[in-house]
Amino acid sequence: MYRKVVGVVFLWAVTCMVQAAIEPRAALMMPKANEAVFLDIATNQDDVFAVGERGIILNSKDGGESWTQLASPVDITLTSISFSSASEAWIVGHESTILHSIDGGATWSIKRYKPEEEKFYMSVNFVSPQSGYVLGTDGELWVTEDGGQKWDVTILSVEEWYQNHLFAVEKVGQTALVAAERGGVFYSKNGLADWQAIPSPYEGSFFGVNEIANQFLIFGMSGQLYSIDPTSLEWTKVNTGTDQFLLHSVKTADGKQVIIVGRGGVILVINEKGELIKKIEDSSRVDYTAVTVLGDSVYLASMAGGVIRMPLKQLTD
């Protein structure tokens, strides 16, 4: 009887430990938070936000001159941030985490946190206050049409036995394209439904997709960059002159150019014709993880830590 009671107590204790282990912990307020590694940057009106390792969320209200760490309810890696309106914003990350803000990014609350699922969310993007999507590991594409109150999940896979990790999605009109690992590319002619895998001329992973002049720009490993016609699905290779991994992109405010960044300090500028018009390779060879534009400045996050600012004219002129 004693052994049985001890066994029950032990199992109860283990259960409590497991439950305690999956409770979210708030990020520590770090004296050098602005030197952390950030994986995404976003702008909201005149503010710049950066998210990254250890749940750190930064905000600058003076164009990157100074940064303030914001309180974060989780201490896990945050991978992506998107504003659906001036007041509402979303962050995703590891441990199936979704954070939400209703005050312009000043404060954040947990909408989803499921470490027991052992999955990561790679990116979030809202195209309107109501419509948004989250992409994750194991082919998970989450879509909301009611401002995040309800999410529908679709599993995208090239083969039934393998669900490609999804990294980015872009829309041109009612057509959409998803960039995934191992050459996975998924196409929809009906908004974000009825997905099909389409043949890719390259078997390596694609990490990002953007839009320029009603064409998709998709990029990934080994400097691979292609434009894709959304109607014919014809692929055109863009010679980048680099074999570095291309990781992130942003379109300039006038919509005439796309800036792509990646490993080895590579920065590429693509014009409306889908042509490479400028390539910069930083002498430090630092890996750039994210890029955004605000006004006449470009903001870059890197594996060296922190966010740097450079004049937009330095890239576009």
Taking residue 304's Cβ as centre, other Cβ atoms within 10 Å add up to 16
Segment 57-75 mean pLDDT = 97
CATH number at residue 181: 2.130.10.10
- The number of residues making up the chain comes to 317
- Dihedral over alpha carbons 207, 218, 130, 123 (to 10 degrees): 10
pLDDT at residue 6, as a whole number: 34
User: What's the whole-number average pLDDT of the chain?
Assistant: 90
Number of domains the chain is built from: 1
- Provide DSSP, 186-245: EEESBTTBS-EE---S--S-EEEEEEETTEEEEEEGGG-EEEE-TTT--EEE---S--SP
What average pLDDT does this structure show over 150-158?
90
**Residue 161 — very low, low, confident or very high, per pLDDT cuts 50/70/90?**
low
User: What pLDDT was estimated at residue 21?
Assistant: 52
Q: What is the pLDDT of residues 264-273, one digit of tens each?
A: 999 999 999 9
Residue 159 has pLDDT above 60, yes or no: yes
Residue 174 has a pLDDT of 85
What are 90-132's pLDDT values in tens digits? 999 999 999 999 999 999 999 999 999 999 999 999 989 999 9
Q: Which domain holds residue 25?
A: 2-316
- The model's pLDDT over 248-294, given as tens digits with 9 standing for 90+, comes to 999 999 999 999 999 999 999 999 999 999 999 988 899 999 999 99
Tokens standing for residue 180 = 């995934």
pLDDT for 289 equals 98
Percentage of the residues of the chain whose pLDDT score is greater than 70:
92
